[in-house]
Amino acid sequence: MNFNSQINNKMKNIFRFILLISLSFTACNDDFLEYKPDNAFTAEDRIANKADLVTYLNGMYDALSYSSTFGGQFALISELMSDGVDMSRSDNGDWQAHYSRTTDIFLGTTRTMMETAFKAIGRANNVLLNMPRITDLTDEEKKRIEGECKFVRGMVHFEVVRFFGQPFGYSADNSQLGIAPRLSYGTEVVNRATVGEVYQIAIKDLKEAASMLPGTNGNYATSWAAKAMLAKIYFQMNDFQNAYAYADDVIENGGFAMDTDFNTKYRSGNEASKEIIFSLVTSNINFDNANGGFRDYFRVNISDNTVGVYSSKDIFTAANSNDDLRGKSWFKDASGAYICTKFDVDKAYNNPLIHLTEIKLIRAESAAELGQNLAKATDDLNEIKVRAGVPELTTPPAVTIINEARRERYIELYFENNRLHELKREAIKDNPNLLIRGVIWNCPGMVCQLPDSELKGNPDMLPNPQGGCN
């Protein structure tokens, strides 16, 4: 059922009145008054030459690593709203709102998520707007820079719509409201597009990025990163044919290799992983703001052996079953308080947004869903299992491959912005009555409420429905 369709014109007018009254009470908040979207400045004031363009391009990547988005908060909220954390040990009000599925328009977490995400998109759009004016760029540089901007824009639209709209497949035509996409640099008002439309925007950008980007590009986006993101998007759509095709291309032709140590993909420098397809690198996680959420939320404070977010008993138990080495390495039991030590690397830190382990899991499950290449799917899973010290599979049927791939995703991708979206995908695919911590997967509270900063400038923008998860 599409809950957004129930909001008629009368309710829209009532909401406008309530929103205006609510905002008037927040007028004393300086941060609220001073907030401006990243694209509220004229492009000409910011980018005058090639050096400015490159600096602004780097700023686009910098915005990705902020703790409010890919630098920690996306991963945190995915676990808060699903089943990955123990909130009995935290009094953080914003986190409790996500945990109890009661987000509202004044929540700091959703406000910073939306603002920072669109800051990255705004910078990408600004570079695209200004690039034709920069005369000392080669054709090759123009092509690469355009590809990087479209990669970031496509990836961010996809990740944000997964939090603020019901998932792909929720309705037959995916007409449920998603987010307001930004495809140009400017201050014009943009209304929400449907989830289906946002997915098509992301796919179009990433396909164009894949055709423009080189195969190697240092720490920046590559054609393989774009193809791997397409595999992730199609897998989220339960489009297994396309998911398999893109994942297979990356695995067979991208030149990546599985690490023998499952801890390696979080390290950088001389210990950098061979399976990283795209990551955000921190030079010193103790002082660098990049990826600061992983430091502040997940890493253990060695002075008192505490952590910002405690893991649930369920994930601790799953990771420690079958003598799984990941349970011993990634978790510890501090007198009944379960702590994730997965990210406790020294100083330099790699935040792997796309890595080979996930792409192999996509290929394995997609193959099983298609009923083909089951031997290859089994090999993919066994490579992950053997590394973790878990018994191998021997000629399993497709249904076993699917179940085992999902189990491996649960453990391997813990705190990697997977769990909430994966449970919704599984519910749409084959478990419509799925309960997530006691509530139905598609109740209104399982979608984040749009923040005040997104709604205040456009009274015609409808909020997400609230309540309905009790």
Please check whether residue 147 lies inside any domain of the structure.
Answer: yes
| Spatial CA neighbour of 166 closest among 121, 196, 186 | 196
Give pLDDT, residue 95: 95
Q: What is the pLDDT of residue 20?
A: 36
Q: What band does 285 get if pLDDT is binned at 50, 70 and 90?
A: low
Q: Is residue 289 part of a domain?
A: no
Closest by CA position to 387, among listed 260, 257, 251: 260
For residue 273, the model assigns a pLDDT of 87
Confidence of residue 31 (pLDDT cuts 50, 70, 90): very low
User: Is 260 in the same domain as 408?
Assistant: yes
Sorting pLDDT into bands at 50, 70 and 90, what band is 12?
A: very low
Least confident of 269-278, 295-304, 370-379, 426-435: 295-304
> Quick one: 55 and 138 in the same domain?
yes
The number of domains in the chain is 2
Look up the domain containing 73 and give its range: 51-213
Using alpha carbons, select from 12, 6, 2, 410 the residue that is nearest to residue 166.
2
pLDDT of 3 strictly over 60: no
Distance of alpha carbon 222 from alpha carbon 404, whole angstroms: 30
| Per-residue pLDDT reduced to its tens digit, 296-306 | 887 777 667 77
Spatial distance between the Cα atoms of 358 and 260, rounded to a whole number of angstroms: 15
Instruction: State the Cα–Cα distance between residues 288 and 72, nearest whole angstrom.
Output: 13
Do 120 and 249 lie in one domain? The reply is no
pLDDT value of position 290: 66
Taking CA 269 as the corner, what is the angle to CA 264 and CA 273, rounded to the nearest 5 degrees? 30
Bridge partners of 306, per DSSP, are: 301
* Parallel, antiparallel or unpaired: strands 435-436 and 439-440: antiparallel
pLDDT score recorded for residue 268: 72
User: Two tokens at 56?
Assistant: 């602004």
CB 69 within 8 A of CB 51: no
Residues 179 and 243 placed together within one structural domain of the fold: no
Could you tell me if residue 323 is inside a domain? yes
How high is the pLDDT of residue 300?
74
**270 and 175 both lie in a single domain:** no
Which amino acid is located at 456 in the chain? K
Q: Does the structure show a pLDDT above 60 at 26?
A: no
Residues 248 and 201 both lie in one domain = no
Q: In whole angstroms, give the CA distance from residue 397 to residue 310.
A: 36
Per-residue pLDDT reduced to its tens digit, 185-242 = 987 889 999 999 999 999 999 999 999 999 999 989 999 999 999 999 999 999 999 9
> Would you state the pLDDT for residue 162?
98
- Domain membership of residue 326 (yes or no) is yes
Flag the least confident range among 2-6, 193-197, 328-332, 428-432.
2-6
Report the distance separating Cα 64 and Cα 154, nearest Å. Answer: 13
Q: What is the pLDDT of residue 151?
A: 98
* Same-domain status, 207 and 256: no
Q: What angle do CA 287, 292, 297 make, to 5 degrees?
A: 120
Q: Which range among 26-30, 105-109, 417-421 shows the weakest confidence by mean pLDDT?
A: 26-30
For residue 93, the domain's CATH number is: 1.25.40.390
How far is 304 from 58, CA to CA, in rounded Å? Answer: 37
Question: Are both 204 and 166 inside the same structural domain?
Answer: yes
In a domain, 225, yes or no: no
Of 364, 380, 412, the one marking the end of a domain is 412
**Is residue 332 situated within a structural domain?**
yes
Among 127-141, 257-271, 291-305, 445-459, where is mean pLDDT lowest? 291-305
- Tell me the per-residue pLDDT of 94-143, one tens digit each, with 9 for 90 and over: 999 999 999 999 999 999 999 999 999 999 999 999 999 999 999 999 99
Do 167 and 246 lie in one domain? The reply is: no
Please give the pLDDT value at position 461. 92
Full 3-state SS string of the chain: CCHHHHCCHHHHHHHHHHHHHHHHHCCCCHHHHHCCCCCCCCHHHHCCCHHHHHHHHHHHHHHHCCCCCCCCHHHHHHHHCCCCEEHHHCCCHHHHHHHCCCCCCCCHHHHHHHHHHHHHHHHHHHHHHHHHHCCCCCHHHHHHHHHHHHHHHHHHHHHHHHHHCCCCCCCCCCCCECCCCCCCCCCCCCCCCEHHHHHHHHHHHHHHHHHHCCCCCCCCCCHHHHHHHHHHHHHHCCCHHHHHHHHHHHHHHCCCCCCCCCCHHHCCHHHCCCCEEEEEEECCCCCCCCCHHHHHHHCCECCCCECCCEECHHHHHHHCHHHCHHHHHHEEEECCEEEECCCCCCCCEEEEEEEHHHHHHHHHHHHHHHCCCHHHHHHHHHHHHHHCCCCCCCCCCHHHHHHHHHHHHHHHCCCCCCHHHHHHHHHHHHCCCCEECCEECCCHHHCCCCCHHHHCCCCCCCCCCCCCCC
Q: Are strands 85-86 and 276-282 parallel, antiparallel or unpaired?
A: unpaired
Higher pLDDT, 410 or 39: 410
pLDDT at 17: 37
Residue 30 pLDDT exceeds 50: no
* Region 271-300 average pLDDT: 78
Task: Give me the mean pLDDT over the 292-314 stretch.
Answer: 81
CATH code for the domain of 403:
1.25.40.10
Q: Which of 412, 429, 450 is the last residue of a domain?
A: 412
- Going by C-alpha positions, the residue among 301, 323, 335, 326 that lies closest to residue 415 is 326
Query: Is 405 in contact with 361 (CB distance < 8 Å)?
Result: yes
Rounded to the nearest integer, the mean pLDDT of the chain is 88
User: Cα dihedral sign for 119, 362, 441, 87?
Assistant: negative
Residue 27, pLDDT > 60, answer no
Question: Is residue 83 included in any domain, yes or no?
Answer: yes
Mean pLDDT of 413-427: 97
Domain match, 90 and 164 both: yes
pLDDT digits (tens, 9 = 90+) for 51-77: 999 999 999 999 999 999 999 999 999
How large is the average pLDDT for residues 386-415? 97
Is the pLDDT at 34 greater than 80? The verdict is no
Same domain for 262 and 366, yes or no, is yes
**Residue 74 forms part of a structural domain:** yes
